[in-house]
Amino acid sequence: MKNTENTSLQDVFGPVISCYSRAQAIEDGVLVDVTNMAREAGFKWPVALTHAAWCDCVAWTEQDSRSQMHQDESGRLWDVLFMAFVAIRTAADSGDRLRFSLYRVPSDGCTMEAQEVTLKLMVGPGDAGEPVVTIMLPNED
């Protein structure tokens, strides 16, 4: 029987082929770091939204305000973070992910009423193994 006590991950899987860090994803715009406002909403860990979740639920331009209704990105972001925090506080199960819903006006140039959207929140390790939160669309992982 082989001694596995001193076996490293590299011994088992080989050398790392490619690595893409959370910091790189934030730098590239794949993730949007919202940690500062998330702390105001009650989060203790760093929080980021995927670019797709940001575009769907937060992004809002002056043109959107002129053609639809007046809103701003900070208010829309607060709604996402507040509903995520409430979902965490009221979750019946513990785990590393949960789905939550909120109402937001889609940025489509014409809709005037808020529509329900579901988002997914995941807790995982950051670049140094620390806990981080990522909010995304349900089909993202």
* Mean residue pLDDT across the chain: 92
24 falls within a domain: no
19 falls within a domain: no
75 falls within a domain: yes
18 falls within a domain: no
Evaluate if residue 132 carries a pLDDT over 50: yes
Range of the domain at 74: 30-136
73 falls within a domain: yes
Residue with token string 């998330």: 38
127 falls within a domain: yes
93 falls within a domain: yes
Number of structural domains (the chain) is 1
When pLDDT is averaged across residues 83-96 and rounded to a whole number, the result is 92
CA 124 to chain centre: 11
Q: Torsions phi, psi of 96, nearest 5?
A: -100, 0
What pLDDT is stored for residue 1 in this prediction? 47
52 falls within a domain: yes
Q: Considering the entire predicted model, what is its pTM? A: 0.86
pLDDT tens, position by position, 17-64 = 888 999 999 999 999 999 999 999 999 999 999 999 999 999 998 898
CA–CA dist 31, 52 (Å, integer)? 9
Helix (H, G, I), strand (E, B) or coil at 1: coil
What pLDDT is stored for residue 3 in this prediction? 57
